[in-house]
Structure 1
Amino acid sequence: MTQGKKPNKKAERIYIFDTTLRDGNQTDRNKMTVEQKVTLAHQLAKLGVDAIEAGFPESNETDLVSMEKIAREVEGPIIYGLARTTIRDIEAVHNVIQYSKRPGIHTFIATSEEHMKKKLHMSAEQVMKEAVKAVKISKNYVPNVIFSPEDATRSNRDFLVEILGRVIKAGATVINIPDTVGLSTPETYEGLIASLIKNVEGIGNVRLSTHIHNDRGLATAVTLAGIRAGAREVQCTINGIGERAGNASLEEVVINLKDTRFRMPRSMKGDCYGNDFYTNIKTELIYQTSRMLVSFTGNEPGHHKPIVGKNTFQHEAGIHQIKPGIYEIIPAEIIGRKGGILVIGAHSGKNGVVQAAKQLGYHLTPSQVKMVLSNVKSLEEVRTEVTGEDLAALIEEAAITVPERYKLIDVIYSGGGKHKKHATVIMHIDGKQVTEMAYGDGPVDAACNAIKGITGLDINMHVEKYDPLGAGSGVQLKVKASIPLDGRRFFGIGVDTDSVIAQVKAYVSCLNRAAYLARNGNSRH
């Protein structure tokens, strides 16, 4: 694990404050159950985050249960709850996080003129008094107090300097500067942080934190600019989830702060953030944590999302596939992924197929390469993508001549009607004839159920494509199908003038391929 590894003695630590369970959970698409929140909190602690914002209890009653469980169970990070500046909010947080060994309260109030007038209906002086009061009350309950001036980047600079100086004097331990609407550019935010460090009284006694929204796609860049200016804590979320366009992404920020210079030319080594900063994140657990969140919310990150997106370490263009490593500046293993994944598609060509086959241990003839490309093209006509599992099956289909362990002799099935259909299947298994009758929702389902009875394999077939071989009556139908088995997918083809028989033949073809590879230890030729 890479937790706490400093690239050099002068490198400064950046603290990671994860708000996936609070800000990330504020949209309907990212809702989680109590059990899921607690499980994710344990995973975040394992990942090495320094603080977890477990919820906002006064605005979300379900957070009361999950926050108390997290406070009682999760050790390591500071466990924070979010509170407005009211006594009711602060007490609601304290009541649930008091069970943590390291409790914290994060209190906030808006400081921009627009928010103060239109939302709070308060004067600047009233807001100032509310902020100081909230920090003092919070400090009486817990040792760790964060103050956030909501909409800080649109607030009057002089007012911001004054209110931050007062809350620091009142006992705040972290000052968070939120770009609530994602307005900032890296340059403007860096200037703001630098100005606050220069002008706020007592700022050297607290840690300065960033909280950046991604409305303009700049959250990671703005966060890094804040660090460059002097911020030493980052509020972020797994997969960048959150309100509207989301928050700064934990994985993007952490990897940018990691020392990845070994794939940089010497002339660029000084440009790496990893020269100057480090985090305590165990980066090998990043992908595992990302996938856990996806499994809980069902909200898949975009395929092209940096670090955790599905396409990040995939290569389709032929030249990329020959030497994939030279196109990956971030080794996939750093975040617990597998790199150099070859994907066959319209841009791959023969080289792509040859390289993919070599990865699988096959040396294909020119005719076999042509067959794979043709089958990929056929799949792309009916699928949004051809997966690595698909590709492996297509290459094996071309590379291996499969003997018929299961030989279909005949299928006799019932026609229409409202009742369940039945089918009788006659097969040879290793040369021995077997007959079985079964029922199903249709003739194909009935025939497949009969085959399941014969083989003892309860595997469902997925029909990939129907392809009429010509036009007019009596034309043959070519059916391509697949079955899942032991984490792999096996393809088969069936051809017949009868669509039912064609599908059953395809099912048997899939079973033969699976049986052969199982018997031969998945041997590659």
Structure 2
Amino acid sequence: MMNYRKYQKQYYMPPVECNDWVKKDAIDKAPLWCSVDLRDGNQALVIPMDLDTKIEFFKMLCEVGFKEIEVGFPAASETEFVFLRRLIEENLIPDDVTVQVLTQAREHIIKRTFEALKGCKNAIVHVYNSTSFAQRQQVFKKDKEHIKQIAVDGARLLKELTEEAGEKYRFEYSPESFTGTEPEYALEVCNAVLDVWKPTADRKAIINLPSTVELSMPHVYAQQVEYMSKNLKYRENVMLSLHPHNDRGSGVADAELGVLAGADRVEGTLFGNGERTGNVDIITLAMNLYMQGTDPKMHFDNMPEICRKYEEFTGMEVNPRSPYCGKLVFAAFSGSHQDAIAKGMHWREEKDPDHWTVPYLPIDPTDIGRSYDKDVIRINSQSGKGGVGYVLETNYDLILPKKMREAMGYAAKDLSDHLHKELQPDEIFSLFKEKFENIQEPLSVHGVHFRQLDDGQIEASVNAKNGSGDYRVTVAEGNGRLDAVSNALKKAYGFEYQLSTYQEHALSKSSSSNAIAYVGITKPDGTQAWGAAVDPDIIRASIDALITAINNR
């Protein structure tokens, strides 16, 4: 039996009201992104990446646009140490990319970290210690002053070793478990660290506020971040950074509200891979900016390839419903959704608007390397006429009459339901040809001769055969060629129907100069039957379409 009484609030509100972030409705500039895929992401894998795989992953992170990449914890293992050395010695770090290394605020670990950094051009040394009430009480069994001193000593050693090395490494400090720390105390520790570093405009320090474990609703984290932003010393020379985890499933909201609250930088991973429920997903964050017209400063224009490489490198799978990148996130199976998308796409073609507003599609899938025909309109037993019509039009240049789309939609739904599977475009096209194109049984026409009459009518002499093998040559008049043929067939075999729809168009995607004709007939009970036919001669195509419609009665 679940006992909710064993839990209580574990977070702390700022001592003063911090709600300025509420007045903002959008992020108008991308924060600086830092990938922690090679640290948090790698340590969360069942089988961590080997050295060569980590190097390939690093190269991909550079390609998609990260300018800061946490490459690991060099003092934690020989593999981590060697990885950083290879990046440096093989000159694999681009000049505009800064690598970040993680270290605990412990002397021997910090010194080992600096050994790994030797010769590195651009680096951030990221030092941390846990400050939360729970860890002070249960893990370290130390009071606030002792915990603060650990942070200060670590900060001082970073500065000394950097000066000894003759480098200008930048520094980052994280009060680990910030979300479980009293905000006034977290501020006190961070300001003590900043007093050691004394950051300047040309060498800013980073104060990183990790929701090491997500403990509250996002608006609480935003208030905590705003409190820190307003009260940090040297604020103009500090990059305020966020490192949200996703224990409550609110990592993206934490990051977005945290940026509204004053943060300048976000640490996260591709697809949110990380400890427990994961780190914040930088792809989602960046694409959320993109879909509202803000440049995310990242290159996600080939999302399928990023997904493929990520899955190869990590052994993880991208969830098919993962925002923007999942295989099904643009897929519309619902008939009403498909109809709205198809109409929206036609509206764009007609109006050529400046901005994207297609229903059900927050962004244009082609912007990130996806396609309309394979990724958007997907056909199964829940689909409708709009989706089926759109697939036939975009893939095969078939512009079905409105009512015929309905009939084709039902045919596709029935087939999908029978097979218990999604239908691919080629299967839908084959179904159309089977059900509606050039059906010559039981009725077929073997010859037609036309004559123009003095009153403007057309006379047709039609040689036809029915299912019993009964050949008949019948002459009839009509107000056009198709009408005359139709009247002759009615006269010959006693058919009862009315020609209700006729439509034709050229097949621009065809390799020859073919045209297609669609014919709909209305039976005495009011229902319709449909036929289509393709031929270089549009008259021949229209007659074959009529024959198909009659055979489909």
Contact 1:56/1:83 (CA < 8 Å) preserved in 2? Answer: yes
Q: Displacement, 1:198?
A: 2.3
Residue in structure 2 matched with residue 237 of structure 1 by the alignment = 269
Residue in structure 2 matched with residue 348 of structure 1 by the alignment = 383
Secondary structure at the aligned position of 1:25 is classed as: helix
**Of 321, 326, 335, which residue of structure 2 is paired with 1:318?**
335
Residue in structure 2 matched with residue 19 of structure 1 by the alignment = 36
Q: Displacement, 1:310?
A: 1.6
Q: Displacement, 1:304?
A: 1.6
**Mapping of residues 147-166 of structure 1, within 5 Å:** 147-166=173-192
Contact 1:238/1:290 (CA < 8 Å) preserved in 2? Answer: no
**Mapping of residues 387-406 of structure 1, within 5 Å:** 391-399=424-432
Contact 1:36/1:296 (CA < 8 Å) preserved in 2? Answer: yes
**Mapping of residues 325-340 of structure 1, within 5 Å:** 325-339=358-372
**Of 147, 151, 167, which residue of structure 2 is paired with 1:131?**
151
> Aligned partners of 1:92, 1:257: CA distance in 2, in Å?
39
Q: Displacement, 1:206?
A: 0.9
Residue in structure 2 matched with residue 425 of structure 1 by the alignment = none
Secondary structure at the aligned position of 2:38 is classed as: coil
Q: 1:311 to 1:79 in 2, by over 3 A?
A: same
Tell me if 1:88 matches 2:108.
yes
1:2-27 residue CA offsets vs partner (Å, 9 max, x unmatched):
xxxxxxxx954510011011111122
Secondary structure at the aligned position of 2:124 is classed as: strand
Contact 1:90/1:105 (CA < 8 Å) preserved in 2? Answer: no
1:472-521 residue CA offsets vs partner (Å, 9 max, x unmatched):
xxxxxxxxxxxxxxxxxxxxxxxxxxxxxxxxxxxxxxxxxxxxxxxxxx
> Aligned partners of 2:313, 2:290: CA distance in 1, in Å?
28
> Aligned partners of 1:194, 1:360: CA distance in 2, in Å?
52
Contact 1:111/1:155 (CA < 8 Å) preserved in 2? Answer: yes
Paired residue total: 370
Residue in structure 1 matched with residue 290 of structure 2 by the alignment = 258
Residue in structure 2 matched with residue 376 of structure 1 by the alignment = 416
Tell me if 1:193 matches 2:225.
yes
Amino acid at match of 1:38: I
**Of 70, 78, 96, which residue of structure 1 is paired with 2:98?**
78
Residue in structure 1 matched with residue 123 of structure 2 by the alignment = 103
Q: Displacement, 1:240?
A: 0.7
Contact 2:191/2:232 (CA < 8 Å) preserved in 1? Answer: yes
Amino acid at match of 2:241: S
Q: 1:361 to 1:285 in 2, by over 3 A?
A: closer
Q: Displacement, 1:400?
A: 5.5
Instruction: Identify unmatched segments of 5+ residues in structure 2.
Output: 1-26, 163-167, 200-204, 342-357, 435-553
> Aligned partners of 1:208, 1:201: CA distance in 2, in Å?
11
> Aligned partners of 1:154, 1:210: CA distance in 2, in Å?
15
Secondary structure at the aligned position of 1:108 is classed as: strand
Residue in structure 1 matched with residue 172 of structure 2 by the alignment = 146
> Aligned partners of 1:78, 1:395: CA distance in 2, in Å?
51
Q: 1:370 to 1:188 in 2, by over 3 A?
A: closer
Contact 1:44/1:289 (CA < 8 Å) preserved in 2? Answer: no
1:81-113 residue CA offsets vs partner (Å, 9 max, x unmatched):
111111222233323333432122111100012
Q: 1:352 to 1:258 in 2, by over 3 A?
A: closer
> Aligned partners of 1:375, 1:95: CA distance in 2, in Å?
66
Amino acid at match of 2:184: D
**Mapping of residues 413-428 of structure 1, within 5 Å:** none
> Aligned partners of 1:396, 1:65: CA distance in 2, in Å?
56
- Quote the RMSD (CA, aligned, Å): 2.5
Contact 2:381/2:414 (CA < 8 Å) preserved in 1? Answer: no
Q: Displacement, 1:370?
A: 5.5
Amino acid at match of 1:327: Y
Residue in structure 2 matched with residue 170 of structure 1 by the alignment = 196
Q: 1:376 to 1:98 in 2, by over 3 A?
A: farther
Instruction: Identify unmatched segments of 5+ residues in structure 1.
Output: 1-9, 262-273, 402-525
Q: 1:22 to 1:378 in 2, by over 3 A?
A: farther
> Aligned partners of 1:70, 1:396: CA distance in 2, in Å?
52
Q: Displacement, 1:301?
A: 2.4
1:257-281 residue CA offsets vs partner (Å, 9 max, x unmatched):
23635xxxxxxxxxxxx3xxx5421
> Aligned partners of 1:355, 1:78: CA distance in 2, in Å?
47
1:150-190 residue CA offsets vs partner (Å, 9 max, x unmatched):
01111122211111101112227100001111113221111
Q: 1:119 to 1:127 in 2, by over 3 A?
A: same
Q: Displacement, 1:368?
A: 6.5
Q: Displacement, 1:337?
A: 2.7
Tell me if 1:56 matches 2:80.
no
Secondary structure at the aligned position of 1:353 is classed as: helix
> Aligned partners of 1:393, 1:337: CA distance in 2, in Å?
19
Q: 1:253 to 1:368 in 2, by over 3 A?
A: closer
1:34-72 residue CA offsets vs partner (Å, 9 max, x unmatched):
222111111111111121011123334322232322344
- Output the TM-score relative to the length of structure 1: 0.65
Amino acid at match of 1:123: D
> Aligned partners of 1:392, 1:14: CA distance in 2, in Å?
41
